[in-house]
Structure 1
């Protein structure tokens, strides 16, 4: 059988295994490729997933911000802590009222100093005390500062001395409950609470230690909460000895108590109060402390006078000092408020222009 000669194209296929038609032979057009449409359900799933991703990212950012705020407020007070200077202070009210130049200068200076605000049932009664805390908390929030308050309304307060008063048992429970509820509602501000100055150190003299302990433990339970740093009465270095004072403090401390406050409304040098705080802390398993430096710039008078002694001056500003025991110093007693009707002063807690001028004579020159 005679073989047909192979074409150039067939020869190419034999050699290369790939057929290419001659250049003069028209090539068929490729079949059009069909575009696949994404189902509607897939689009919906993609959108939902995208929205979920955005929401998750926003939630993460918010969580990080809130955790950052909580970390800042959850830290105890320390050197450098900024405390609010309350607009409601008596110094601020005196400054707003005006008066002679020296009295106005003293009031304006003291109104600008970060100082604890004293909650008393006479000034902030049941029904008003909660809103008062919220107002001060808002001021602290706006100034990026910590809130510091003193709770001072115990039944039989001050054992009938110059600061006598307070509430009966039932009203005291209601009042401190309202304070605690307001404090717990504030979550973005550091809160420092000094509970009933002099209440423990005076108890042996008043003969009501057991009653005081019960009252204070109840109040502490109602006041404590998240990011609230509670300090009980610790007396001062020229009063009860560290052993006696530690025995009293030990009876009231429990969960939620950060430590004790010393030198409240007194004049002892900061160095002496730090040493005393360390002695107390050693007896109280490392409990921490605050030291009041509001009026100790000239130290305590030699005669031991505690009621409006002349010649005193304001001390170092809040947040200046601290160590491993003393969280920091704080102006707890508002300078310019009288200790009582003694040495020319008015009733306890009343604004005393002449006393304010004397205390700030070096600071306002």
Structure 2
């Protein structure tokens, strides 16, 4: 259970090998054979406040509240991070929760950040299992999220891990249904004025050749682009190489103009240790969130909130962390290198 509204449950402790999903799925068209990711007119882009103003630092985030009490935590608490919109918020509540948060950001003249994380069969039934109970519930829930975000000039990361997990026989979800739900969400949120980034895993998981046709089927033509490294520790240079290759592969399958963002919240510790992915001791915060908006690179974000635990374990695997999603001062200090 999240420790505050919207706190992120720990993302799945990701598979270290790129063989996590077995085999390429056949490409099926989702929309036109050739498509360009949604950006709107040149005039609309020029007038879009997201191109000129900073990202929202929410004073209600645990890291921000910790920094207000102890300046030791300022390197984390002073950085923009998203509000995670999960099944913590019921269908009847999620619209108002999104609207309150996005309006607060806009009142501060900043861009609101969201992570949408409630797909049916979330996290392959693992550490962050949950999500909506069925497809109809998910569509209704997304409708309310979109209404809350309408015209609020938000940025949203859509369903971390949902596409990279496709093809994993252990997951058990219906692939066609999942792709349909992601397309529905990307379309609804984009039409509400949100910049949507579908999650594309990371450089140590799937290949660009594998991901491009899946992202097309998941409705990336409706989105602004894709995100990489969410909740993971891969170096930024590796992620940029992966993202650039994925942009090229998307063009090859008929989707041009895709942008990308990289989660750098915990990738400042150098090359990750394979298999050590639950509150690893060697992890450090990475480059600060920054919009770049140059070429296909939209910038860096801290999507997985640094300082919140990945989870707990009895065998030491999670290095003493509390339950997933809980603010963990000792872990935050470790990430900052001040423990």
Provide TM-score, normalisation by structure 2: 0.76
Structure 1 counterpart of 2:303, from 332, 338, 348 = 332
Q: Distance in 2 between matches of 1:316 and 1:336?
A: 15
SS of alignment partner, residue 200 of structure 1: coil
User: How far is the alpha carbon of 1:145 from its aligned partner?
Assistant: 1.3
Q: Distance in 1 between matches of 2:112 and 2:46?
A: 13
Larger Rg: 1
Counterpart in the other structure of 1:355? 331
Aligned residues of 1:319 and 1:330 also touching (Cα < 8 A): yes
User: How far is the alpha carbon of 1:166 from its aligned partner?
Assistant: 1.1
Change (3 A) 1:210 1:300: farther
SS of alignment partner, residue 165 of structure 2: helix
User: How far is the alpha carbon of 1:242 from its aligned partner?
Assistant: 1.1
Q: Which moved more, 1:208-217 or 1:285-294?
A: 208-217
Q: Distance in 2 between matches of 1:220 and 1:354?
A: 37
Describe how 1:8-157 pairs up with structure 2 within 5 A.
74=48, 82-95=54-67, 104-122=70-88, 124-157=89-122
User: How far is the alpha carbon of 1:138 from its aligned partner?
Assistant: 2.6
Change (3 A) 1:71 1:258: closer
Q: Distance in 2 between matches of 1:323 and 1:126?
A: 37
Aligned residues of 1:308 and 1:338 also touching (Cα < 8 A): yes
Change (3 A) 1:306 1:180: same
> Do residues 305 (structure 1) and 276 (structure 2) align?
yes
Looking at secondary structure, tell me which structure has more helix per residue: 1
Counterpart in the other structure of 1:289? 260
Counterpart in the other structure of 1:37? none
Counterpart in the other structure of 2:20? none
Structure 1 counterpart of 2:290, from 297, 314, 319 = 319
SS of alignment partner, residue 333 of structure 1: coil
Aligned residues of 2:266 and 2:283 also touching (Cα < 8 A): yes
Change (3 A) 1:257 1:320: closer
Counterpart in the other structure of 1:5? none
What runs of 5+ residues in structure 2 fail to find an aligned partner? 1-42, 252-256, 313-317
Counterpart in the other structure of 2:163? 200
SS of alignment partner, residue 336 of structure 1: coil
Provide TM-score, normalisation by structure 1: 0.71
Could you list the per-position Cα deviations for residues 87-139 of structure 1 after superposition, in whole angstroms to 9, with x for gaps in the alignment? 3323234456x5xxxxx4454442221112111122x3323322222222233
Structure 1 counterpart of 2:224, from 251, 258, 283 = 258
Describe how 1:152-301 pairs up with structure 2 within 5 A.
152-169=117-134, 170-186=136-152, 190-205=153-168, 206-208=171-173, 209-285=175-251, 286-301=257-272
Aligned residues of 2:311 and 2:322 also touching (Cα < 8 A): yes
Aligned residues of 1:262 and 1:289 also touching (Cα < 8 A): yes
Aligned residues of 1:74 and 1:227 also touching (Cα < 8 A): no
Change (3 A) 1:226 1:74: farther
Give the total of aligned pairs. Answer: 285
Q: Distance in 2 between matches of 1:108 and 1:263?
A: 23
Could you list the per-position Cα deviations for residues 268-292 of structure 1 after superposition, in whole angstroms to 9, with x for gaps in the alignment? 1111111110000001124111111
User: How far is the alpha carbon of 1:304 from its aligned partner?
Assistant: 4.1
Could you list the per-position Cα deviations for residues 32-85 of structure 1 after superposition, in whole angstroms to 9, with x for gaps in the alignment? xxxxxxxxxxxxxxxxxxxxxxxxxxxxxxxxxxxxx965563765xx751101
Structure number with the bigger relative contact order (C-alpha 8 A, sep ≥ 6) is: 2
Change (3 A) 1:351 1:182: same
Q: CA RMSD in A?
A: 2.6
SS of alignment partner, residue 191 of structure 2: coil
Q: Distance in 1 between matches of 2:55 and 2:116?
A: 17
